[in-house]
Structure 1
């Protein structure tokens, strides 16, 4: 909860952007089975690969990670290499174009993402512990709707 409720609709809407900026930082809440800062950063890449594997079957390359995160390809390459070194990702030849190298989650990467999802759920439950159940569910529905709309705007 903010220290002062926005007084106008305009103030409320202007407060949304900074609130989103704080969300990522707040994921480090002290909850059971916490995620390290390093692994939290790794989940940025792992999430992209997992979503592609579970979604439309897109093949994810280092370039795709760079594009999705809006970072320089060299930055994405270092992030991917770190995940490979940690045992969370593996490289494989594309089945569509053997010249391309694509990324897959390893069994350890899947375990990390399962643990991260449990961490996210625990953090959500901790933050909203004093909310009415209807508020928690409505917020969850609206957050999912927001993310779906945002993804629909993303160029494919």
Structure 2
């Protein structure tokens, strides 16, 4: 019975832990990233992940689970910063799609380097095997979330 209670306690703690992680880790670790840059990288990652597909402001809103007007402001900020460009759809010339600019690609790369440095800093006292196991399991978790979003 104690093992079952411990399992329940551990699993109940996952959600709040993700909330704490989202709020703090990349802001607090060496060379902090500004909240504005965190927001921008959310948009840049979505556009980058959809590189083979055409992505619109509506798609950004859907993938972030936010109101289209909020997504529009976020995208406009990225365009104003020079990270995104609007382009005509190759499938439907009436649609406008988003593409990363060279500055957007460079910014995304810098952010990924920062994320890796943060991961390495946070796990610096972990045995290498635990660090790599955690990385594999985290990627497996994210892939499982993505698989749930795929249309049937």
Scaled to the shorter chain, the TM-score interval is over 0.9
Q: TM-score, normalised by structure 2?
A: 0.92
Q: Which runs of 4+ in 1 moved over 3 A?
A: none
Q: Is the 8 A contact 1:29 1:123 kept in 2?
A: no
Aligned to 1:47: 45
The Cα shift of 1:155 comes to 3.9
Structure-2 separation of matches of 1:126 and 1:100:
43
Residues 3-54 of structure 1: per-residue CA shift (max 9 Å, x gap): xxxx61001000011111112221113324x42221111111001001111x
Structure 2 partner of 1:30: 29
Q: Using CA pairs below 8 Å that are at least 6 residues apart, which structure has the higher relative contact order? A: 1
Which residue of structure 1 aligns with residue 59 of structure 2?
64
Gapped runs of 5+ residues in structure 2?
Answer: none
> Counterpart in 2 of 1:81?
76
Structure-2 separation of matches of 1:144 and 1:39: 23
Give, in whole Å, the separation in 1 of the partners of 2:11 and 2:34.
32
1:142 to 114, 137, 148: 137
Instruction: Please identify which structure carries the higher helix content.
Output: 2
Aligned residue for 2:11? 13
- Partner-residue secondary structure (3-state), 2:71: helix
RMSD, aligned CA: 1.1
